[in-house]
Chain A
């Protein structure tokens, strides 16, 4: 199940709970207009949401519910307990559909029927208030005849006359053989063309189609009065498929079809003879229910006090009934046992032996105690359904504030924990308590482990995979590219990359903007591409990956790219830059002009993008979550937009290194290893210092040099240099530092204000001893 479905289910259940709660509250205060509005909105939202999925049944019921609620809200209908009951029933049904969806099951024909029933019940509650616009047109009733075959009315004989003679004969033959064909009368709604339906196509695809025909509802008006887009045709299909198959084929329009069975002969035979396979199972179910009812009745009779008059008669009646039940259930072998029990009962003048036999021979479980009169199967399942609700949900929806509070607390705890090693070293150096220092250290290890796990657990709660936003793109790209007449191949990568919920959510809209821009402005039309020697279909790639404490999202296309000259000129024309800037601007700077507010290169405003609100909105949205946006583009070859966002604001691990007497933090996930190498192992290749690390040549850079410090790297007492080996991108880089210190968990505070421009630092952190550690942004420093 994908994240969208999961979210839909979670939200729907929440909405259903709320609806139920509000309905119950409304029964107390039916005049609460506010509550009514809220209720309407809930139902409305739920209906809207289910439109995203293939859930015609749910939509049908909710739509009817929404209409009813709207009538109540507008004061056209008084809220009553009856309405509440109906809505509650409908919501129960929706909940079942949710369960089915979660279990990845298709709704059964019963459910399709139930949806119809519930919807029409809701609509009938609307009564005269609002004539049902979607009401099924009168389904031409088959004369006065009420004869049915296999539970369906018979096809009127004049309809059969439309069939070719041979088909007619086959149909009657099939019915006589006990597997009647069905005649499906399909009366599409008049406005169905507007909903994108093609009823002829739908009818042609009917499973088991034998014959199909169309007919007109009324004589045609003259051409100038004709509304070609109001459906005036009816469709008839003769099919070998079962009624269930038909129902599922027409599950979007179950109220527009009527299923008739073809009678075996001009004069219909009793239905029993011609029960189809599916019907016989239904018959068996009915028989089982009847047997069940009879047995419950016997239980009740036998439970009557023996002292009542007429015990013998009751016993004999029960014995006879049970004997017939046995025969009906084809258990003739059990009859002697019954006779024996009955005899014992008569001798003892007690119903107990017979009751015991009954309980033994027809075990019915606890559900059927004699005291409880058999409730109809429907009522039973319905009440069971309500009781099942509790405790089903495995997800817990918690307000984000609560989790944020946890995050803050664990952050403080990590800092507090980091004070322990300092305490240990003070105990040792200042007070000379070596033993105590050791104990503090071991306690620190324990607290460290626990807080680590806790922090991880809290992080997990907030983490979401980027697939949450990625999954909308295949559809978006497909629809958009089709609209634009372009061929686009979409490639998604790294969908598992997870980041904080806030970050992920803030990504959605900017990404949509960027993708639309790429489709609209970036990728060329197939013919243009072909002329340029590119493949006809353009490539759009959206890749996500984690890079240290950032999530990188790269949207690249192989389209026409951005022409710096065009951008510069446009910006100048729009007065966004002056002449001097225009002249000295580099290409790289020029293409970044598209992020200026009010900039748009599109010749014409299309409905997709090009209103000049695109890229600056994207930039602002990304910057709001401390993200950065970077653009690369080669004219004629394509554009790459890279979004870099923080993984989360949570705790990160850094390694502390020392150089020139200062301490710096280096993100631990970059650190490949730390090593000490003798000065003699350094080799110079041209200007570049290198060393051989585990058989590989690794370039060495001095941190002092990178930071602009004058001093040379120091060696330790054994004349060994400290090399911090980092993995940057795909390669390794050795950083020469003076000394290594411990790794620490810190809460990284990004640099703000004037310091925010120092791109060499990703932030600062408060250490356990109260000092401030600057954390290096190695990617930036080495670039």
Chain B
């Protein structure tokens, strides 16, 4: 399961592929002020990143994959600590 939705959170894990962007976009259209959890994510296709950025989603957890985290930090603003 690469993408799970929970309340106002989208939890990404493993490799999030280009096809997932569609689902993500649909969900985000119905859920404003969502947050994203990258913790168990190893790679995200940029199409998903575009959707997340356009929706103004804030990051609630960075990937444990250090390299990916660095890339993502360059695109998403640092999240204020909430959870």
Residues of A within 8 A of B (CB): 162, 193, 198-201, 203-204, 211-216, 220-224, 226, 228-229, 231-233
Residues of B within 8 A of A (CB): 18, 21-22, 24-25, 28-29, 43-51, 53-56, 67-68, 70-71, 74-75
B52 CB to nearest A CB, Å: 10
Known contacts A200-B71, A214-B71; is A226 also within 8 Å of B46 by CB?
no
Contact between chains at A231 and B46 (CB < 8 Å): yes
A-B pairs with lowest CB-CB distance, top 5: A213-B74, A220-B54, A214-B75, A228-B21, A200-B46
Known contacts A212-B71, A213-B74, A216-B53; is A193 also within 8 Å of B29 by CB?
no
Contact between chains at A220 and B28 (CB < 8 Å): no
Contact between chains at B49 and A214 (CB < 8 Å): yes
8 example contacts (A-B, Cβ-Cβ < 8 A) are as follows: A193-B45, A200-B44, A200-B46, A204-B43, A216-B53, A223-B55, A228-B22, A228-B48
Contacts of B29 in A (CB 8 A): 223-224
A64 CB to nearest B CB, Å: 27
Contacts of A221 in B (CB 8 A): 54
Contacts of A162 in B (CB 8 A): 74
* Of A204, A224, A232, the contact of B50 (CB 8 Å cutoff): A232
* Of B47, B56, B68, B75, the contact of A229 (CB 8 Å cutoff): B47
Known contacts A212-B71, A220-B53; is A228 also within 8 Å of B43 by CB?
no
A249 CB to nearest B CB, Å: 16
Contacts of A232 in B (CB 8 A): 50
Contacts of A203 in B (CB 8 A): 71
Known contacts A198-B18, A200-B43, A204-B67; is A226 also within 8 Å of B74 by CB?
no
Q: Which residue of A lies closest to B45 (CB)?
A: A198
Count CB-based A-B contacts (< 8 Å).
Answer: 76
Contact between chains at A213 and B75 (CB < 8 Å): yes
Contacts of A213 in B (CB 8 A): 70-71, 74-75
Contacts of A223 in B (CB 8 A): 25, 28-29, 51, 54-55
Contacts of A198 in B (CB 8 A): 18, 45-46
A501 to B54, CA, bound (A): 59
Contact between chains at A215 and B75 (CB < 8 Å): yes
Contact between chains at B70 and A212 (CB < 8 Å): yes
Q: Which residue of B lies closest to A213 (CB)?
A: B74
With A201-B43, A223-B28, A228-B21 known, 18 other A-B pairs at CB within 8 A are: A193-B45, A198-B18, A200-B44, A200-B46, A201-B45, A203-B71, A204-B67, A212-B70, A213-B70, A214-B74, A216-B75, A220-B50, A220-B53, A221-B54, A223-B54, A228-B24, A232-B50, A233-B46
Q: Which residue of B lies closest to A227 (CB)?
A: B50
A161 CB to nearest B CB, Å: 12
B23 CB to nearest A CB, Å: 10
A196 CB to nearest B CB, Å: 8
A455 to B49, CA, bound (A): 67
Contact between chains at A211 and B25 (CB < 8 Å): no
Contacts of B22 in A (CB 8 A): 228
* Of B24, B44, B74, the contact of A215 (CB 8 Å cutoff): B74
A137 CB to nearest B CB, Å: 15
A226 to B50, CA, bound (A): 9
A228 to B28, CA, bound (A): 12
B29 CB to nearest A CB, Å: 5
A213 to B51, CA, bound (A): 17
Contact between chains at B50 and A228 (CB < 8 Å): yes
B4 CB to nearest A CB, Å: 19
Contacts of B48 in A (CB 8 A): 228
B71 CB to nearest A CB, Å: 5
Contact between chains at B54 and A226 (CB < 8 Å): yes
Q: Which residue of B lies closest to A222 (CB)?
A: B54
B78 CB to nearest A CB, Å: 13
Contact between chains at B45 and A200 (CB < 8 Å): yes
Contact between chains at B55 and A229 (CB < 8 Å): no
Contacts of A220 in B (CB 8 A): 50, 53-54, 56
B24 CB to nearest A CB, Å: 8
A228 to B55, CA, bound (A): 11
Known contacts A200-B43, A204-B67, A223-B55; is A229 also within 8 Å of B74 by CB?
no
A736 to B46, CA, bound (A): 78
B43 CB to nearest A CB, Å: 6
Q: Which residue of A lies closest to B32 (CB)?
A: A223
A219 CB to nearest B CB, Å: 9
Known contacts A213-B75, A221-B54, A226-B54; is A199 also within 8 Å of B46 by CB?
yes
A198 to B49, CA, bound (A): 12
Contacts of B25 in A (CB 8 A): 223, 226, 228
Contacts of B43 in A (CB 8 A): 200-201, 204
Contact between chains at A193 and B47 (CB < 8 Å): yes
Give the interface centre of A211, A214, A221, A233 by most chain B CB atoms within 10 Å. A214
Contacts of B74 in A (CB 8 A): 162, 212-215
Contacts of A204 in B (CB 8 A): 43, 67-68, 71
Contacts of B71 in A (CB 8 A): 200, 203-204, 212-214
Contact between chains at B53 and A228 (CB < 8 Å): no
Contacts of A214 in B (CB 8 A): 46, 49, 71, 74-75
A49 CB to nearest B CB, Å: 28
A783 CB to nearest B CB, Å: 55
Q: Which residue of B lies closest to A198 (CB)?
A: B45
Contact between chains at B21 and A229 (CB < 8 Å): yes
Known contacts A200-B43, A204-B71; is A226 also within 8 Å of B49 by CB?
no
Contact between chains at B51 and A226 (CB < 8 Å): yes
A589 to B40, CA, bound (A): 58
Contacts of B53 in A (CB 8 A): 216, 220
Contacts of A224 in B (CB 8 A): 29
Q: Which residue of A lies closest to B47 (CB)?
A: A228
A229 to B44, CA, bound (A): 14
Contacts of B49 in A (CB 8 A): 200, 214, 233
